[in-house]
Amino acid sequence: MIAPAAEEAGSPETAPDALSGFTIGVTATRRREEFCALLERRGARVVSAPAIRLVPLAEDTDLLAATRRSLEAPVDDVVVTTGVGFRGWMAAAEGWGLSAELSDHLTRARLLTRGPKARGAVRAAGLNDHWTPATESCEEVKQHLLAQDLRGRRIAVQLHGEPLTGFVAELREAGADVIEVPVYRWLPYRDTSPLRRLVTQSIAGGVDAVAFTSAPAVLAMLGAARADGLEDALLAAFGGRVVAACVGPVTAQPLVAKGVPVLQPERSRLGALARTLARHLPAHSVTRLVAGGHELEIRGHAVAVDGELKPLPPAPMAVLKRLADKPGHVVPRSELRTVLPGGSSRDSAEHAVEMAVTRLRRALGPAGIVETVVKRGYRLATHRGEGL
């Protein structure tokens, strides 16, 4: 796992253009516009591909059944995993005419809140929270409960979009009667085409990072890739040039389980995730070198020449990145053909390479950055080891 980015109190805000030249895929549904705005304000190009949607609470018969079961007898412990989920549960109960009875049961129970947002929702409902883990993790909540004698205790566990299978199983093995409360459930987004496009863009290197704000969104993207026979290729992309950024450890778990390195902030917040990406990508996903006497900073879809950012189309950018892989070395046309988007015949591919180099030179501006070596290929006008 990529080490969480430190966020010291009072640290200076990331430069407003820190993400200029980078493309970031966003899979969020809830608070999508807010998160996209956080990235765009830092200069990022955002590809929005909603992965999941919420089941409306008022229509959720499973939630109603779990609520009625919770009211059949006193509940000893209630695990509150999310603030939005707890508020939704209370609102749904009010719509069903069960609000007063549910509040009475919760008043008599110990409320274990997973984090400050869950704790805030409990207090806003006029209830008292019993305990909150320092790590904001379900694992710590589980260990806290298992350290006690759970035989015969009734425990309601508010789920957060997906089953907590292991969590619930261990409590039951310890003797507890566990009620799973599916406060909100995720289903695949109705239009899966944006997510499927994001999968192919990630594999092709068309995005520099994909940001996840929930574990169900991770699972949905992996599922979409699997349905198209692309899951292994997607995981390989996440293990290579594409950064998988997750808002917290719960979200990251499905990727960590598959051995994917994950970037995450120390605090599980959208703002913290945006700041972490704005620090990480310029530091780890930029190639800096000097060519033709000019300073180049190669980013995802743009290159800064002497500090001036110049967006590049996919073909010229692909050529530039391949040349930058071997600074100062000649890269033959046959090799450059392999990095161009799309397939074509040998003759047309030769022409496509020449056109991509022409467009690259025009976009870069100053002459002499890309050199032609007659009958051999092209190179950046630099020497191995010459850089910034």
Query: pLDDT tens digits for 130-142?
Result: 999 998 889 999 9
* Average pLDDT for 351-378: 92
Q: Count other Cβ atoms within 10 Å, centred on residue 13.
A: 9
Half-sphere exposure of 258 (CA within 13 A, CB side): 18
- Contact yes or no for 78/111 (Cβ under 8 A): yes
* Average pLDDT for 227-242: 96
Segment 93-122, tens digit of pLDDT? 998 999 999 999 999 999 999 999 999 999
Q: Tell me the residue ranges of DSSP E strands in 152-242.
A: 154-158, 177-181, 186-188, 209-212
Of 319 and 14, more confident: 319
pLDDT at 339: 86
- Contact yes or no for 158/93 (Cβ under 8 A): no
* Average pLDDT for 25-48: 92
- With b for 16 or more beta-carbon neighbours within 10 A and e for fewer, the 185-206 pattern comes to bbebbeebebbbebbebbbebb
- Contact yes or no for 292/369 (Cβ under 8 A): yes
- Contact yes or no for 292/364 (Cβ under 8 A): no
- What percent of the chain is predicted at pLDDT more than 70? 90
Rounded Cα distance, 219 and 215, in Å:
6
* Average pLDDT for 55-72: 85
Please state the pTM of the whole predicted model. Answer: 0.71
DSSP state of 306: T
Segment 310-345, tens digit of pLDDT? 999 989 999 999 999 988 999 999 999 988 876 544
Does the pLDDT value for residue 61 go beyond 80? yes
Does the pLDDT value for residue 192 go beyond 50? yes
- Contact yes or no for 312/301 (Cβ under 8 A): yes
Segment 163-185, tens digit of pLDDT? 788 999 999 999 999 999 988 77
pLDDT at 72: 97
Segment 244-297, tens digit of pLDDT? 999 988 789 999 999 999 999 988 889 999 999 999 999 998 999 999 999 999
Does the pLDDT value for residue 4 go beyond 50? no
Does the pLDDT value for residue 363 go beyond 50? yes
DSSP state of 58: G
The mean pLDDT of the chain is: 89
How far is CA 222 from its chain centroid? 12
